[in-house]
Structure 1
Amino acid sequence: MASGSFAFMETCHSPWAWQPRSLSWWVTTTNLLGCVGFLLSAVVSIVLPSSMGPAFPTVSLIFTLVGAMGFLIGSLLMLPESVVPS
């Protein structure tokens, strides 16, 4: 979570900025959303054994998927930045 937040602040040059025309902004935003997804997955998976209902593992799995998709989209968006013009 800290790495995603610091990368976002470095890209925006402030704690928050709306820059949807910047590819770097999209990369760090989707990575930050991936961090949030994994954080929520970890929080939801911590359940007391007596209160564990059938929905908690499913919700944790959904947030894990959201985190993974955020990182996947962020890494795919980095591909155009890696192309060096000839």
Structure 2
Amino acid sequence: MTRRAALESTFESHKTATQVAAALRPDNTPEIETRVDGTTVITEMKRETTGGLQATIDDYVVNLQVAAQLVTTDGDTSTTIQHNHE
């Protein structure tokens, strides 16, 4: 049985969301898809085991935080991201 998760992160603008998604895409595998809908980055992932899915989510969240900080133009390293977990 395949385990699935979808993570949504909302940003201040479509431009920022697009930049964050572009920074995350190199880490995508065939089991991970990242797209932008307005100001929201949506990443869907699937793994065969719960532990594998958890590890993938953990890695993704770290990468997301780094990407968000890199595209922040105000220099604020305490970028806050709103996460919606399914």
Range into which the TM-score falls when normalised by the shorter chain = 0.3 to 0.5
Q: Which has the higher strand share?
A: 2
- Please report the TM-score for the alignment, with normalisation by the length of structure 2: 0.37
